[in-house]
Chains A and B, each alone.
Chain A
Amino acid sequence: MKVSEIIEKLDLKVYSGQKGLDREISGGYVSDLLSDVMGNAREGEVWITLQVHHNVMAIASLKDLAAVILVNNLEPQENTVRHSDDENIPVLGTNLSTFEIAGKLYQLFNQ
């Protein structure tokens, strides 16, 4: 499944990193603790979080994540957007809570 497909199916907003919409997704990871993501997320996963600052992109890039989904209508900070565009890793958004969007993504993956 590609990033563009989950955008369509989960009605996600695209904030940045449009060039990365073709990235292939291997799964998802949910955490707001950066060291947890650093230690345990795997390449190609979509990261669901409420953190909006620039270090989110540093981690997404170091871990080769497919995309980041910000929950609860949160918006990325300006330097997060810039870094996302540089790395071609999309930052996406939803008005849903972490619980709801994680549940929907999980369902998509296990259809």
Chain B
Amino acid sequence: MKLLFTIQGGDFTRAGHPSSEVKKVLKQLDIDGKTIKNIVIALYEAEVNVVAHAWKGTVSVEIEENKITIWVSDEGPGIADIELAMQAGYSTASKEVREMGFGAGMGLPNMKKNTDELHIESEVGIGTKVKMVNYFS
């Protein structure tokens, strides 16, 4: 099964829509609750990263019998130093974004913690591609 969503940079009102849809589908498929929770946390964080930093992006989801693969790709500023960005507490979010309670430098660590596989590719000035895989138990 495949699902596709678009994300508009800066539009916080729609953040959480893809995660919410994916959660519903996984519930219908009777995937275990813990796995759904992990996937939802990771996807929500990835969505918020696109909204907070990029100009626009897509979320592409493929659900197979034993796993779910999520690609979140954006056109945006990119990440100059991925290793640094992965450190808890490191953030480049704007003041406005921080005032909303985002940008605490917890997003990427949350994604790492809640996925079985996390791959990030990024090119400064072009955009970022995130691939996340979770296996169903």
Binds B, one of A7-15, A55-63, A95-103: A55-63
Which chain A residue has the least Cβ–Cβ distance from B108? A35
Q: Is the CB of B41 within 8 A of A34?
A: no
Would you call the interface of chain B mostly helix, strand, loop, or mixed? helix
- Contact (A35, B107) CB under 8 Å given A51-B100, A58-B20: yes
Q: For chain A, give the interface size range.
A: 10 to 19
Seed contacts A34-B102, A39-B113, A55-B16; 14 additional CB < 8 Å A-B pairs: A33-B104, A33-B106, A34-B101, A35-B107, A39-B41, A39-B110, A54-B13, A55-B102, A59-B44, A62-B16, A62-B19, A62-B23, A62-B44, A63-B37
Q: Is the CB of A62 within 8 A of B110?
A: no
Which residues of B are interface residues toward A (Cβ below 8 A)? 12-13, 15-16, 19-20, 23, 37, 40-41, 44-45, 48, 100-102, 104, 106-107, 110, 113-114
- Contact (A35, B106) CB under 8 Å given A53-B100, A62-B20: yes
**How many angstroms from the CA of A55 to the CA of B14 in the assembled complex?**
9
| Nearest-Cβ distance from residue B47 to partner chain A, whole angstroms | 9
